[in-house]
Structure 1
Amino acid sequence: MEYYQAVFIGILQGITEWLPISSSGQVMLSLINFIRISPEDAYSYSLILHLGTLMALLFKFRYDLGKIMFKLLLFRWEEEEKFLFYSTLFTGLIGLPLYKGFKSIVSSFNPEAVNGIIGIALILTGIMLKKSQEAPLERLEKGLKKEKDEVTIVDAIIAGIAQGVAVIPGISRSGMTIGSLLLLGIKQEKAVRLSFLMAAPAIIGALFLELPEASRTSEPLSLPLASILSAFIVSLLMLELMMKLAKRLNFSRFCIFFGFIALIASLVGVLT
């Protein structure tokens, strides 16, 4: 990988992390199809890049996360503290086995198979997003359940499971968590905030698992550092803009479109 490619991948991570279109899926597709990196290395690289977006997330929500951490340590658990504890617990219970399973078999996949997996996952994410966008409108039209002001432990568990499933490339973490919370009747603004807050411990956990292996790579350390730095800078610059765009654009169609593109690339690779 060249330095300009490392910077480009970091920029891609910095933009797509804040959109419900699976940053790891988009990064892996780019690494595999354009830079010609093996699926196993592409998966590891896509996880390491989250260090850049994690730093941006911690900076953006430094006061909120500081207060939550202080309350957790003092066992003064209120709504957000309980939500983060149970969502993180179930993210680990679901995500860790899926991570280890995918990590152990991804090395046996060829690029065409990985393209197909990511394509299917993106399409499923798009369907999930479309349903989550329609559900609140359907409830209002039918005069059914109103949006909830507070999240429950059950809501936290479901959101945690959704986040755990998102370790599979192509399944968007933010798309799954925001979508599940919207389906549960949580207000959109609150769902977005909770989704970003619960990302911090999940990303830290993923980096804890992946960084020891990344340190053993033969590539110069400056390459991933260039990607991480560019991801951090772009995340800081684009976070607010991306959140505003997310309210206006239909990202379910975006996921489905890129999912079909990945599936077509997979079939072409198999047939040629």
Structure 2
Amino acid sequence: MDWFQVVFLALLQGLTEFLPISSSAHLILPSQLFGWVDQGLAFDVGVHIGSLTAVMIYFRQDIWRMIVAWTSSLVGRGSSTDSRLAWYVIWATLPAVVAGFIFESAVDHYGRSILVIAGATLVFGALLWWADFSRTEVRPLEKITLKDVIIIGLAQAVALIPGTSRSGITITAGLMLGLNRQSAARFSFLLSIPVILGAGLLKGLELMKTGTADEWTMVLSGTVLAAISAYACIHLFLKWLDKVGMLPFVIYRMLLGFVLLGVYFII
């Protein structure tokens, strides 16, 4: 990679990881459309660490309360809203873990085509619009139930398909279940922590086995840029969410999906 690609891909990862527009699709597309070489395993690990750092710093107070409450629940000191939320994040992560072990190789083989990305972008973009348009918004995050968590977790497992968007599909599920926008988004972001951590650890282990010839200055720069852009993205998304809703992201997904179909069938 050259420095332009480093900056572009790091910012792209940070901005798209938490928006409902699919970061995996956007990281696959440059190589598909521009013929760029793969960014390399070390860079991939680096930008995931950047995204993870951003979400953990942003939600540091929530995370600390959840850890303390969850630890207390383990030693029989009772249950609280924070301990239940911590357990819910764990339960909602399990379907994605199971699906990853079963379907990862198939997704890597069949799911990286422009046609698959375009189809998932359009279908799940339309579903996001419907969920936001028909939302009831009757419950805050404190009222989330185990049934809600299981459904959101199953929805997250579908995000293995590039173009689906992990944040998009989990927010969609949350809205359909009656969570308000802020609650659906915040749970989606909290749910991203174990997923990104797990993906980063797996890629890190693979990196240790294979070694790398990557330029570490570029990797570190990508990590920092991804962290800064991801933090800004989370902050602005939550700030503007109630004002703009999901429609801008739905419109973007529709445009992107049809452009990709044009690329696939015409070029």
The C-alpha deviation readout for 1:157-207, integer Å capped at 9, x for no partner, is: 111111122122211111111110110111221111111111101111111
Which of 47, 63, 66 is the aligned partner of 2:64? 66
Residues 1:229 and 2:224 aligned together: yes
Which of 201, 208, 216 is the aligned partner of 2:201? 208
CA–CA distance in structure 1, aligned partners of residues 103 and 164 of structure 2: 12
CA–CA distance in structure 1, aligned partners of residues 258 and 238 of structure 2: 25
Which of 184, 197, 219 is the aligned partner of 1:191? 184
Q: What corresponds to 2:12 in structure 1?
A: 12
Residue pairs, 1:138-217, within 5 angstroms? 147-149=138-140, 150-215=143-208, 216-217=211-212
Residue pairs, 1:55-134, within 5 angstroms? 55-74=53-72, 75=74, 76-77=78-79, 78-103=83-108, 105=109, 114-134=113-133
Residues 1:24 and 2:15 aligned together: no
Residue segments in structure 2 that go unaligned for 5+ positions in a row: none
Q: How far did 1:71 drift?
A: 2.3
Q: How far did 1:44 drift?
A: 9.0
Count residues in correspondence: 253
Residue segments in structure 1 that go unaligned for 5+ positions in a row: 140-145
Quick one: which amino acid aligns to residue 167 of structure 1? L
The C-alpha deviation readout for 1:200-238, integer Å capped at 9, x for no partner, is: 011111111122234534332333332222111222334
RMSD over aligned Cα atoms? 2.5
CA–CA distance in structure 2, aligned partners of residues 266 and 224 of structure 1: 31
The C-alpha deviation readout for 1:42-93, integer Å capped at 9, x for no partner, is: 8996675222111000111112112212222332554312321210122212
Q: What corresponds to 2:37 in structure 1?
A: 37
In structure 2, the CA distance between the partners of 1:122 and 1:45, relative to structure 1 (3 Å rule), is farther
Moved more, 197-206 or 67-76: 67-76
Superposition TM-score, scaled by structure 1 size: 0.83
The C-alpha deviation readout for 1:76-135, integer Å capped at 9, x for no partner, is: 5543123212101222122332324323x25xx8xxx61111111111221121111122
In structure 2, the CA distance between the partners of 1:158 and 1:135, relative to structure 1 (3 Å rule), is same
In structure 2, the CA distance between the partners of 1:31 and 1:198, relative to structure 1 (3 Å rule), is same
In structure 2, the CA distance between the partners of 1:47 and 1:157, relative to structure 1 (3 Å rule), is farther
Quick one: which amino acid aligns to residue 88 of structure 2? F
Quick one: which amino acid aligns to residue 231 of structure 1? A
Superposition TM-score, scaled by structure 2 size: 0.84
CA–CA distance in structure 1, aligned partners of residues 20 and 181 of structure 2: 14
Q: How far did 1:35 drift?
A: 4.9
The C-alpha deviation readout for 1:2-38, integer Å capped at 9, x for no partner, is: 0221111111112222311111211221233225235
Q: What corresponds to 2:3 in structure 1?
A: 3
